[in-house]
Amino acid sequence: MDSLDQELRFYCFVNFYLSSIQQGIQTGHCAVDLVMKYLDAGGAASAEVTPEKAEMVRRWAASYKTFIILNGGDAENIEELERVIAAAGDFPFATFHESESALKGLMTCVGVALPETVFDVKPVVRPDGVLTYVYQKSDETGAVIASRTYGPGHPHYELVKALKSCGLAR
């Protein structure tokens, strides 16, 4: 399935110590930082800011604008989530750190733009007991036109597992 045919969403993992309104505000800050990082890079490509990731951010911002705010746990867990997202390598992401005067520079959230092949998965336990995640898309006749499985060893497995294990922020 071509990535240009996929729905995109911005998933933001926020610190669970923040109030609901603060979680929404931090997500907004992170989304703006994502757009600035990938679309206002002055054409400077790097290992992190590639034309493909910039196009994904542009498509998300222009056509989808969907925010999903997840409970990212405490500060240590937010940092671990950043490592997991960065290790997946294929998706544009940004972090937001609060000001030194407000929260001593604490990273309050990490957000990532993801295609439906990552967020629209179902957990499947294999016969050997290993948890995997499966994406399938069908056409109007019900025929499967795209399929992807994420299991241990897949470069996106830990990200998908983190995404599915974090509940909505409250």
What range does the domain containing 105 cover?
7-115+154-165
Assigned domain for 104 exists: yes
Domain count, the chain: 1
Question: Rounded CA gap, 43 and 75, in Å?
Answer: 32
Question: Rounded CA gap, 50 and 89, in Å?
Answer: 11
Q: Are 78 and 117 in contact (CB under 8 A)?
A: no
Assigned domain for 45 exists: yes
Question: Rounded CA gap, 102 and 114, in Å?
Answer: 30
Assigned domain for 133 exists: no
Assigned domain for 40 exists: yes
Q: What is the DSSP letter of 168?
A: B
Assigned domain for 62 exists: yes
- Report H helices in the chain: 20-39, 51-59, 75-88, 100-103, 116-119, 157-165
Assigned domain for 81 exists: yes
Q: What is the pTM of this model?
A: 0.91
Tens digit of each residue's pLDDT, the chain (170 residues): 455 579 999 999 999 999 999 999 999 999 999 999 999 865 566 678 899 999 999 999 999 999 999 999 999 999 999 999 999 999 999 999 987 777 677 999 999 999 999 999 999 999 999 999 999 999 999 999 999 999 999 999 999 999 999 999 98
Q: What is the CATH number of the domain that holds 34?
A: 3.40.1490.10
Q: Are 94 and 111 in contact (CB under 8 A)?
A: yes
Assigned domain for 147 exists: no
Assigned domain for 97 exists: yes
